[in-house]
Amino acid sequence: MAEENYRTDLTYDAADEYRPEPIPPPEIAAWKDGSIRIGIHTSIAGDIAGALDIAHGLGANALQIFSSSPRMWGHGSSRIAETDAARFRQRRVGLQLGPLVIHGNYLINLASPSPVLRTRSVQGFHQEIVRALALGADYLVIHPGSGLGTSVDSAIAAVAQGLRQAARGLKLGELRILLENTAGQGSTLGSRFEELKAILDACPDLPLGVCVDTAHTFAAGWSIDTEAGLEGTLRDIDRTVGLDRVAVVHVNDSKTPLGSRVDRHEHIGKGKIGLQAFGRILNHPLLAKCAFILETPIDKPGDDKRNVATLWRLTGRVVRATGPGMKPRPTKSHKVRASKAGVRQKTRSRGK
């Protein structure tokens, strides 16, 4: 090739120049203002954005949803249309609801020894992450699964590998995946915090955290109904997964007794854990950075509103029956309550 031609090939074109994309400054979401966050699991039936208005109308300032049918595998495309997702995100900002927690499909079992179910589970959880990102969720909660007779160690390894496979190729950004502790029914993983810790340790590359369900904890044998029992439980959680990784507490009373290993949620104050215990849980300085999300049953109309109101009352706030356009008006921040209680608050950061 003649030298002359070679030179022409190297003509400078400004458009070819590499320009790194400017990194936007991290935005602090409006809900991360240190105020107490009380939420409830809300139905997405009909219109997914409607769940936001329902939660707001019930007096909640946070919420949990399923992002698709929780007991069905997605058929073909289980993606959310971008127009719906954009409308959802916009409405959420308008209502200042947060955090937004998405609960994963119940069929997903990343520990399944069946190759078919395991593959479906990995694909299903991949779609869960995709939908969570589209909706701008803060947390995606998943049950660790069940090895169905395989050893605990191999079940834990399968879950860790499944999580990594499901997240492959996705930029999780601010989204945190939370492993929920379980009641320990059958061979389900996660009734011991050591098992959750082993999964966290096996995935140092993923933004993982923990969701603690009060009914599951109680059914798994932790006596959170008493003051000493709660303190001991929090110590156990801190010693294993670390309290700084607990971002969400599912607040459910339990129909079943301590250590029953059976998971049956009850209205706050109507079960075996009891109202006083929930007062201690909601106001505990070591849980001050957690969002509290109800997953209580609706046996009769108004149960959801009553449970939300009960939680606010336990935090010392009065939130009257709400409707469209009305918001709970927190009166003081968690920090104030913690310092008033004379307890040194542990410095914690959410979702690390």
Give residues in contact with Zn ion (CB under 5 A): 180, 213, 250, 295
Active site residue 263: yes
* Tokens, residue 142: 């998943």
* DSSP H stretches of helix in the chain: 3-9, 50-57, 82-95, 115-135, 152-167, 193-202, 214-219, 227-239, 275-282, 303-314, 334-340
Active site residue 216: yes
Secondary-structure breakdown of the chain: helix, strand, coil percentages, each rounded to the nearest 5: 35, 10, 50
CA nearest to 37, candidates 349, 293, 285: 293
Tell me whether residue 191 or residue 317 sits nearer to Zn ion (CB atom).
191
Phi-psi region of 261 (alpha: psi -120 to 50; beta: other; left: phi over 0): left
* Catalytic annotation, pick one of 37, 41, 92, 103: 103
Active site residue 250: yes
Q: How far is the CB of 318 from Zn ion (least distance, A)?
A: 27
* Rounded alpha-carbon distances, angstroms, from residue 197 to 160, 240, 352: 11, 6, 13
Cα–Cα dist 44/65, whole Å? 7
Active site residue 265: yes
Tell me whether residue 95 or residue 189 sits nearer to Zn ion (CB atom).
189
| In contact, 323 and 57? CB cutoff 8 Å | yes
* Catalytic annotation, pick one of 33, 47, 106, 235: 106
* Catalytic annotation, pick one of 13, 17, 19, 71: 71
* Catalytic annotation, pick one of 131, 176, 250, 350: 250
Active site residue 180: yes
| In contact, 245 and 209? CB cutoff 8 Å | yes
Residue with tokens 């310092």: 339
* Catalytic annotation, pick one of 53, 84, 295, 303: 295
* Catalytic annotation, pick one of 37, 118, 131, 216: 216
Active site residue 213: yes
Tell me whether residue 92 or residue 250 sits nearer to Zn ion (CB atom).
250
Active site residue 103: yes
3-state secondary structure of 248: strand
Q: Which amino acid does the sequence have at 110?
A: L
Q: How far is the CB of 175 from Zn ion (least distance, A)?
A: 17
Q: How far is the CB of 24 from Zn ion (least distance, A)?
A: 33
Q: How far is the CB of 103 from Zn ion (least distance, A)?
A: 6
Tell me whether residue 85 or residue 141 sits nearer to Zn ion (CB atom).
141
Cα–Cα dist 213/338, whole Å? 22
3-state secondary structure of 299: coil
Tell me whether residue 95 or residue 199 sits nearer to Zn ion (CB atom).
199
Tell me whether residue 61 or residue 182 sits nearer to Zn ion (CB atom).
182
Q: How far is the CB of 250 from Zn ion (least distance, A)?
A: 4
Q: Which residues pair with 178 in a beta bridge?
A: 141, 209
Q: How far is the CB of 334 from Zn ion (least distance, A)?
A: 22
Provide the annotated active-site residues: 71, 103, 106, 143, 180, 213, 216, 250, 263, 265, 295
